[in-house]
Amino acid sequence: MYAALWRVLPGPWWIRVLILLVLAAAVLYGLFFFVFPWVSTILTPEDVTVG
């Protein structure tokens, strides 16, 4: 999968690395500010089943 992504990206290797870093930062931003808060409203820590 990573080799296919590397071949699809345009430019020399340093531009590819820059594009991958920007994409990784965008994914992390989306997770921390949208996905994780939404999941925390669904999963509450008080609902444990271990007694």
| Residue ranges per structural domain of the chain | 12-39
Residue 29, pLDDT > 90, answer yes
- 0.85 surpassed by pTM: no
- Structure token pair of residue 17: 């690395």
Whether the predicted pLDDT of 13 surpasses 70: yes
pLDDT band of residue 21 (cuts 50, 70, 90) is very high
Give the pLDDT of residue 34.
95
Give which of 1, 2, 19 is closest to 10, Cα–Cα: 19
